Amino acid sequence: MNSFFPPWRGGAETYVYNLARNLVRRGHNVVVYCGAEPIKPGTEVVDGIRIERLRILCKLYGTPVMPTLSARLMRESADVLHANFPSPLGALLTGVVSKWKSIPSVLTWHNDLPAVTRTAGAFVAIHNEIVLPVYMRYFDRVIATSKTYANTSPILQRFADRVALIPNGVDTARFNPRVSGEEIRKKLGLTGHNLLLFVGALTEWHRYKGLDVLLSAMQLLKNTNENVRLLVVGDGSLAPEYRHLADSLSVSDDVIFAGNVPEDDLPKCYACSDMLIQPSKDRSEGFGLTILEANATGKPVIGSDVGGIPSVIDQGKNGFLVPPNDPVALSEEIRSVLHSESVLSRMGRNGRVIAEKHDWSIIAERTEQLYEGLI
């Protein structure tokens, strides 16, 4: 169970799709329950996965309320129930059904609930202290995607006896160094420029991705006459705000807002860049799947030393870590790396080696072993 499923874009959605697809390849029957957006409610089969897209009544803290979810789950004859967080209501209903039907259950904890506003902070406090203890006791195991996050999350520390470490994965066939980015560079007029890449949703719930910090770093790079462009892949309600910020910082001509590019073009976007920038602001960033996607394409990453990112970026090996919310430090690190072709090349090669150890086939096998232990 997850809040949404592709074509909805997000880290948890990428996780669910690739895990389910690889479990099907391993001979399992997989059913995914999710909110219907952005398409109509109904049943469909994608890569052997049965997708049950449910009607959404409303959204609570950005996650869908699906009135029929509990009844539909009750009718399923499953060996294991697997929910994904952050989706508090989905986790609650999955946990209750698991207890009621005596079915083993697993919860993947992608990240703690972020308190994006004062009102949201009150909701998070109520959830963490009152609601969460109710349903967490129903889950047999909780998957943490990084050791760093498991060791620093107040929630995961409370349930440490049930935490299993299984990282996120990447499709190393789809994202690989043989993909050419020249088509994208020519199309966007980027030939001859150093190119930075940002991939992420531009929504209120993803402010923590730190695009504003990166835009400020771009201003500093421009002021030192660096020949740098930024490609922003992703869209959402905050896109006009970020465009306005780029304009106010006088970097509009140096930033390309590409929106949600077609799936077939995403690997090409990584390939056309010199490096990915992951400027996340806080621990809402539980892992950073885009880091693996960039590394799999042979590209290094500069990311914030926050959340689960330090478990993915090995300092100086496949990328560099910088303090969060610090455009000066970020711009200086970008400048340093861009000025060394050998560093870019070496970290790109190292990144590919790291990504291959995270191929989804490996991650699915480890998850399967977890299921088998519970059954």
What are the distances in angstroms from CA 116 to CA 153, 205, 238, 239, 281? 17, 7, 14, 18, 12
Residue 367 CB burial class (10 angstroms; 0-12, 13-18, ≥19): buried
DSSP 300-362: -EEEESSTTGGGT--BTTTEEEE-TT-HHHHHHHHHHHHT-HHHHHHHHHHHHHHHHTTBHHH
Query: 341-356 vs 327-338: helix axis angle to the nearest 10?
Result: 100
Q: What is this structure's pTM?
A: 0.92
| CATH entry 3.40.50.2000 includes domain 11-169+359-374 | yes
- Measured at the alpha carbon of residue 192, what is the angle toward residues 236 and 317, in degrees to the nearest 5? 70
As a CATH number, domain 182-356 is 3.40.50.2000
Please, what is the Cα angle at 55 between 54 and 61, to 5 degrees?
95
The CA distance from 17 to 363, in Å, is 13
pLDDT in tens, 311-351: 999 999 999 999 999 999 999 999 999 989 999 999 999 99
Q: Supply the pLDDT for residue 25.
A: 97
The predicted pLDDT at position 119 comes to 72
Q: What share of the chain is helix, strand, coil (3-state, %, to 5)?
A: 45, 20, 35
The residues, ordered by sequence, that sit 6+ positions from 363 with a Cβ below 8 Å of its Cβ are 18, 19, 22, 166, 167, 168, 169
Upstream peptide bond of 267 is cis (omega within 30 degrees of 0): no
Q: What is the DSSP string of 55-70?
A: PP-EEETTEEE-TTHH
What's the confidence (pLDDT) of residue 96?
A: 95
Cis omega (within 30 of 0) for bond into 38: yes
pLDDT of residue 63: 86
For CATH 3.40.50.2000, the residue range(s) in the chain are 11-169+359-374, 182-356
Q: What is the per-residue pLDDT for 35?
A: 97
What pLDDT score does 123 carry?
81
- Residue 2 near residue 87, CB atoms below 8 Å: yes
Q: Specify the 3-state DSSP secondary structure of 19.
A: helix
Residue of 61, 204, 80 lying closest to 126 (CA atoms): 61
The pair of structure tokens assigned to 231 is 């490609």
Judged on CB neighbours under 10 Å (0-12, 13-18, 19+), 225 is: exposed
Distances (CA, A) of 318 to 25, 321, 351, 368: 30, 10, 5, 28
Q: What angle do CA 167, 298, 194 make, to 5 degrees?
A: 125
List pLDDT tens digits, range 167-194: 999 999 999 999 999 999 999 999 889 9
- Count how many residues are written for the chain: 375
User: Can you tell me the distance from the alpha carbon of 142 to that of 85, in angstroms, rounded to the nearest whole number?
Assistant: 10
Q: Which residues of the chain have pLDDT under 50?
A: none
